[in-house]
A and B are shown apart, each in its own frame.
Chain A
Amino acid sequence: MTKNDFAVVGQPLPKVDAWAKVVGETRYADDLFLPRMAYAKLLRSSHAHARIRSIDTARARALPGVYAVVTAADLPPVKFGILPVSQDEEALCADKVRMVGDPLAAVAAVDEETADLACRLIDVTYEPLPALMSIFDALAHPEVRIHEYGDGPNVHKNVALQFGDVDAALVGADLVREDVFFFEGNTHLPMEQHAAVAHWTSDGKLTLWSSTQTPHYVHRVLAKVLATPAAHIRVIATPVGGGFGGKTDPFSHEIVACQLSKLTGRPVKIALTREEVFYTHRGRHPVLMWIKTGFTKRGDITGCHLRTWLDGGAYGSYGVASTFYTGVINPVTYKIPVYKFEGARIFTNKPACGPKRGHGTPQPRFALECQLDKAAEQLGLDPADLRRRIVVEPYTKTANHLTVTTIGLGECIDKVVEASGWRAKRTRYGVTAAMGSQPTGGSREGGAGCTHLVQPEPPSPKKPGIGIACSAYMTGAGTAIYWNDMPHSGVIVRADRSGGVAILCGATDIGQGSDSVLAYLTAEVLGLEPVDVQVFPADTSLTPVDLGSYSSRVTLMCGMAAIQAAGRLRDAIFKAVARKLEVDPAALVARERKIGVPDDWDKAVSFARAVELGEAMHGVLAFPGSYAPPKRAGKYKGGGVGPSPCYSYSACVVELTVDEETGTVDLRDVWIAHDIGRTLNPLLAEGQVEGSIYMGIGEALMEEQVFRKGLHKQPSMLEYKSPTTLETPEIHTILVETDDPEGPFGAKEVGQGPLLPVIPAIANAIHHALGIRIDEVPITPDKILKALELRRRGKPPRVGPERLPLFTFKDPLVVESAFGQPADAIGVRPFQS
């Protein structure tokens, strides 16, 4: 289809929930107030690692206004966790705490203040254990075990995969680079703190309203840990005030609110404080990386070997998936004929890490893209040209057996190079230009509008630089979190004789606009306006299951399910209208709220009339749509992580200045071109790109989740620095359309991918400006000054990790490389007919 065939798709429409949001009517979890509602608070551990000797709640129970106090003894002794392989969490810790902030007890009371006071009256005796606060600590002290399970003492996961003979490929290379990088952890910092309201009514049924991205998984976990049939539990995801992955795990506070409601016979609300959100975390893993890549003289990659060590924190969370994600996505971008990946996730006594926007992939992306920049410099190639040359071919497989469908990365690179004036600025700025010599670079021609190629910059401590990086991301995980053969997304569309259409779908709107996308796609198929479609999302008792708002899966998976459901409704209505108009159903079209034959549009019937005809012919009009991704898991153990129906691609150029005296970085402009497949709504798509870039900037320059003696060093919004309007540069977004056969009307993801390239692009631009390498994020002024100081002392001007852990990876699982093989089974998936 071409753009002109669409009525709704591609239009810059407001979101369907925009009006409620601008007048303050949207009801987030903490905005719910029910009659007789009690307020709950958690008592959290003040120790990073300790055995619990005793918990005495007597004084708390005696406090006037307290309705109930619970400890682990009041809950079934069942552990939980988001992944079936890592069931290591307790709603309330029974024997041991593993991090500061671990929940120990909870109180429900007449108000929050009383609940808080009661928590302080609970007496806990701890027997402190050594706290392991880093990867090095945890590996150096195998005698201290944080958990009893895993792939070794304090090793949660140890993986090793090899696709082809990497050692041979490196031997044959013209240039082999070995680099070490570190990516510090950081957190989601959604503006809304997590909140939940539970109501266990006297008929034995439980409803939980929660600010969650994954109501379906919360539903499953509640049934398990509360030993209650899932059929009697209803989970409703309230509109989420920012998620970014921070609300994708089932949490202690949700479980505890339910139990307290059961005990008190009242609705119970629990709302986390900002400090608690910092400890709840599940954010970006700190990752140490070693990467060795071989290149030919022309910049082709001969092979790549990557090792990652993840600091997982105290619990499993999504960590097994995170570990794989640090290795499996890099080959989707560039031609890497043979590939080896070794990864390990280590337990430490810090808040558990998990999925944050880009889940496990920004870290290795930073490593690879910075290394490419270094290689380009050594080979005398322009970094944009080098990347352009090695872009993966469409409809082929990667070394690790992932199927790439469409890929617009080449076009993305061309677009940002042109829009940013890359070639001219690359020559004009930078340390080599400032020293009066020619910069290293293959290509010298000036870019558009460049006539003053060698204008010297006026002397100033602020040195300009420009850098590039690219990336890829999944449009939805190809496999579910728990193994099953059911749909990943379901939709029910119903129409009634009023002409109104309702969509029921388990998708959760976290601000990304999933409700809107469902309305747009349904309206497109039925020839309606989005305002004619009511979306009822995320209610496990009413809506078909959707696995959740994570892994950039919702637009594609719910979108495809909605198109299928709406298509079935349309077919049924067409049949009835065709009989009435005495035409072939295939001759009909739906548009402008009417159904008719294009050449005889005067006879077209209104949509409402068409529904009447349909109801008269078929009875009630309600149709399901189901989506499950194509089955493309690689046929090796671990092959289930990484496959996706299709991948999005981004190329990013950053222009900045670095102050040589203060080390401060000022971003001037960011250009990003993103292969989105098809733009369903340019406003929403640009919004996702801009938000991703902003978040990447925070990670690159300031955000870090760091600890001192078990305590978060900066558990407040003032101390945890994140970009404000003043630190956020102008962002120039270019959307590239490749019309992917796997996506709804050709669409691919846009919510996460654009975050990935901005971090290495900033690092590469800083190198361009000053000739220094900061191989560690965040790139703070002190690191820049340190690198400049090293140069003054005649040392290599690089700041980054100096050592790697002593660690033995598993013997790798050796599989043949599938690099370059043709993709199979495009557009073939379950539930298609």
Chain B
Amino acid sequence: MKVRIALTVNDEVHEALVPVHKTLLEVLREDLALTGTKHGCELGECGTCTVLVDGQPVLSCLALPLETEGRRITTIEGLADGARLHPLQQAFAELGAAQCGYCTPGILLTAAALLSERPSPTRQEVKEALAGNLCRCTGYTKILDAVELAALRMERART
């Protein structure tokens, strides 16, 4: 059975006709061609598929599109402000926090949610916020450094 849905993704409304049981991850990637959202398990275990729904990190492999209708979905394609990169994106690129880059979209969005709630987190708080996002390449060190650098730059930009 298919349903017609309207999703607000990265401030644009997308309409699609999709099977009811398709996950948000699948709809984003397959129906809306937003392939920046990745998957590592499709069972809610790795954090790779994280998107933001009303600013909160959500595992898109466990979410059903119907539940997100009328809510604001942000994917990695929507993290930059037009051509201006989010400070997190800038810091991840500068510090080598993306090696293979496969976990990067999910980690960037999780970190973005953290920084909007806690603009100056401690390293331990960053670790806790990212504990559900696995990365097999970096050993997390450069990721933590990059989140701290972005937080610092955002802080400076505010003052």
Residues of A within 8 A of B (CB): 12, 14-15, 17-28, 30-31, 33, 188-193, 239-244, 273-274, 510-513, 683-684, 686-687, 690-695, 716-718, 722, 724-726, 728, 730-731
Asked whether, in the complex, the Cβ of A192 is within 8 Å of the Cβ of B77, the reply is no
Asked if B37 lies at the interface with its beta carbon under 8 angstroms from chain A, I say: yes
Are B100 and A33 in contact, with the CB atoms below 8 A? no
| B108: A residues at CB distance < 8 A | 22
User: Given the complex of chains A and B, what is the CA–CA distance between A690 and B75 in angstroms?
Assistant: 28
Say yes or no: A510-B96 contact (C-beta < 8 A), given A24-B77, A690-B138, A718-B43.
no
In the complex, the answer to whether A241 meets B142 with C-beta atoms within 8 Å is: no
Tell me the smallest distance from the CB of A450 to a CB of chain B, in Å: 26
- Looking at A14, A191, A691, A726, the one whose CB has the most chain B CB atoms below 10 A away is A191
Q: Is the CB of B101 within 8 A of A239?
A: yes
Q: CA separation between A683 and B146, bound complex, in Å?
A: 12
Q: Is the CB of A191 within 8 A of B103?
A: yes
Contacting pair B136 A189 (CB below 8 A): yes
In the assembled complex, the CB of A720 is this many whole angstroms from the nearest CB of chain B, namely 9
Nearest B-chain residue to A15, judged by Cβ:
B96
18 A-B pairs whose Cβ atoms sit less than 8 Å apart in the complex: A19-B93, A21-B92, A21-B93, A22-B90, A22-B101, A23-B76, A24-B104, A30-B39, A191-B38, A191-B136, A192-B100, A241-B100, A244-B136, A510-B100, A691-B139, A692-B139, A724-B131, A725-B126
What residues of chain A lie closer than 8 Å to B92, measured between beta carbons?
A: 18, 21-22
- A448 CB → nearest B CB, Å: 23
Closest residue of chain B to A684 (Cβ to Cβ) is B96
Interface hub of B100, B105, B130, B132 (most chain A Cβ within 10 A): B100
Given contacts A27-B35, A725-B131, contact A21 B104 (CB under 8 A): yes
Task: Give Cα A241–Cα B126 distance, bound, in whole angstroms.
Answer: 24
- With both beta carbons as reference points, the residue of chain B lying nearest to A22 in the complex is identified as B89
Q: Is A14 a contact partner of B139 (Cβ separation < 8 A)?
A: no
| CA distance in complex: A686, B131 (Å) | 22
Contact yes or no, B41 A717, CB < 8 A: yes
In contact, B43 and A716 (Cβ under 8 angstroms)? yes
CB-based A-B contact count at 8 angstroms: 170
Contact present for A22 and B93 (CB under 8 Å): yes
Residues of B within 8 A of A687 (CB): 96, 99, 137-139, 141-142
- The 3 A-B residue pairs with the shortest CB-CB distance, nearest first, are A24-B36, A511-B100, A21-B101
Bound-state Cα–Cα, A695 to B139, Å: 7
Looking at A188, A242, A510, which has the most chain B CB atoms within 10 Å of its CB?
Answer: A242
Q: Mark B99-128, 1 if CB is under 8 A from A, else 0.
A: 111111100100000000000000000111
B1 at the A/B interface (Cβ < 8 Å)?
A: no
Q: Which residues of B contact A242 (CB under 8 A)?
A: 100, 102, 136-137
A690/B136 contact (C-beta < 8 A), A18-B93, A241-B101 known: no
Q: Does B46 contact A (CB under 8 A)?
A: yes
- Mask, B13-48, CB within 8 Å of A = 1, is 000000000000000011001111111111101101
- Identity of the chain B residue whose Cβ is nearest the Cβ of A720 in the assembled complex: B45
Q: Which residues of A lie under 8 Å from residue B102 when comparing CB positions?
A: 28, 190-192, 241-242, 511
Known: A23-B89, A239-B100, A728-B139. A717 touches B40 (CB 8 A): yes
Cα A21 to Cα B42 in complex, Å, equals 21
Residue B73 lies at the interface, judged by CB distance under 8 Å to chain A: no
Interface assignment of B134: CB less than 8 Å from any CB of chain A: yes
Which partner residue on chain A sits nearest B77 by CB separation? A24
With A28-B38, A694-B140 already in contact, the answer to whether A718 and B45 are too (CB < 8 A) is yes
- Nearest-neighbour CB distance to chain B for A750, whole angstroms, equals 13
Q: How far is the CA of A29 from the CA of B144 in the complex (A)?
A: 28
Q: Which of B40, B132, B143 contacts A193 (CB 8 A)?
A: B40
B99 and A511 form a contact (CB under 8 A):
yes
A interface, by DSSP: helix, strand, loop or mixed?
loop
Closest beta carbon of chain B to A471's beta carbon, Å: 17
- Known A-B contacts: A21-B98, A23-B36, A690-B141. Give 19 more (CB < 8 A): A15-B93, A17-B101, A18-B94, A18-B98, A22-B85, A24-B75, A24-B104, A27-B35, A33-B30, A188-B136, A510-B100, A511-B100, A690-B140, A716-B41, A722-B136, A724-B131, A725-B126, A725-B128, A726-B131
Could you tell me the distance between the alpha carbons of A274 and B143 in the complex, rounded to whole angstroms? 24
Task: Kindly state the separation between the CA atoms of A400 and B137 in the bound complex, as whole angstroms.
Answer: 33
- Which residues from B are CB-within-8-Å of A241? 38, 100-102
Given A241-B101, A511-B99, are A691 and B76 neighbors across the interface (CB < 8 Å)? no
Flag if A686 contacts B142 (CB, 8 Å).
yes
Interface assignment of B95: CB less than 8 Å from any CB of chain A: yes
Consensus secondary structure, chain B interface: loop
Judge if B135 is at the interface, Cβ distance under 8 Å. Answer: yes
In this assembly, does B53 line the interface, its C-beta being within 8 Å of a C-beta of chain A? Answer: no
Q: How far is the CA of A20 from the CA of B132 in the complex (A)?
A: 24
Chain B residue, CB-CB nearest to A697: B139
CB nearest to A24 among chain B residues: B36
Also in contact, A725 and B136, with CB within 8 A (given A18-B93, A19-B93, A22-B92) = no
Decide yes or no whether B154 CB sits under 8 A from chain A. Answer: no
Contact across chains for B46 and A717 when beta carbons are under 8 A apart: yes
Q: Give Cα distance in the complex from A31 to B101, angstroms.
A: 13
Distance A20 CA – B85 CA, assembled complex (angstroms): 11
Bound: A28/B102 CA distance, A: 8
Is B80 part of the binding interface, using a Cβ–Cβ cutoff of 8 Å?
yes
Which chain A positions have C-beta within 8 A of B134?
191, 717, 722, 724
CB atoms of B96 and A717 under 8 A apart:
no
Complex Cα gap A716–B40 (Å): 10
Residues of B within 8 Å of A728, CB to CB, are 139-141
Complex formed: what's the CA distance from A243 to B37 in Å? Answer: 19
Q: Which residues of B lie under 8 Å from residue A26 when comparing CB positions? A: 101
Contact (A24, B105) CB under 8 Å given A191-B48, A274-B41, A717-B45? yes
Q: How far is the CA of A20 from the CA of B104 in the complex (A)?
A: 11
B127 touches A726 (CB 8 A): yes
Q: A24, B35: Cβ atoms under 8 Å?
A: yes
The residues of B that contact A725 with a CB separation of less than 8 Å are 126-128, 130-131, 133, 140, 143-144
Known: A22-B89, A191-B48. A691 touches B38 (CB 8 A): no
Bound-state Cα–Cα, A193 to B41, Å = 8
A684 to B142, CA, bound (A): 10
| B5 vs chain A, min Cβ distance (A) | 18
Q: A239-B100, A722-B136, A731-B141 are in contact. Are A14 and B94 (CB under 8 A)?
A: yes
Contacts of B100 in A (CB 8 A): 190-192, 239-243, 510-511
- Of the listed residues A33, A188, A717, A730, the one surrounded by the most CB atoms of chain B closer than 10 A to its CB is A717
Q: Are B43 and A717 in contact (CB under 8 A)?
A: yes
Give the distance to chain A from B9, nearest Cβ to Cβ, in Å.
13
Q: Which residue of B lies closest to A17 (CB)?
A: B101
Q: What residues of A have a CB within 8 angstroms of the CB of B95 in the complex?
A: 683
Q: How far is the CB of A427 from chain B (nearest CB, A)?
A: 29
| A274-B42, A687-B96 known; A25+B36 contact, CB < 8 A | yes
Of the candidates B42, B43, B93, B105, the one whose C-beta lies within 8 Å of that of A14 is: B93
Min CB distance, A579 to chain B, in Å?
42
Contacts of B40 in A (CB 8 A): 191-193, 274, 717
**How many angstroms between the C-alpha atoms of A15 and B138 in the bound complex?**
14
* CB-defined contacts of A730 to chain B, threshold 8 Å: 141
Contact of A23 among B77, B130, B132 (CB under 8 A): B77
Q: In the complex, A21→B105 CA distance in Å?
A: 8
| Contact between chains at A33 and B75 (CB < 8 Å) | no
- A730 to B127: give the CA distance in the assembly, Å: 12
What is the minimal beta-carbon distance from A36 to any residue of chain B, in angstroms?
15
- Rounded to whole angstroms, the CA-CA distance of A690 and B99 in the bound complex is 11
Give the CA-CA distance A718 to B44 in the complex, in Å. 9
CA distance A691 to B141 in the complex (A): 8
Residue numbers in A under 8 Å from B141 (CB-CB): 686-687, 690, 728, 730-731
Our pick among B29, B96, B138, B139 for the contact of A18 (Cβ within 8 Å) is B96
State how many angstroms separate the Cβ of B18 from the closest Cβ of chain A: 12
**Which of A193, A695, A725 lies at the interface centre, i.e. has the most chain B CB atoms within 10 A of its CB?**
A725
The distance from the CB of B74 to the nearest CB of chain A, in whole angstroms, is: 11
Query: Which residues from chain A contact B42 at a C-beta distance below 8 Å?
Result: 273-274
Docked complex Cα distance between A377 and B40 (Å)? 45
Chain A residues near B128 (CB, 8 Å)? 725-726
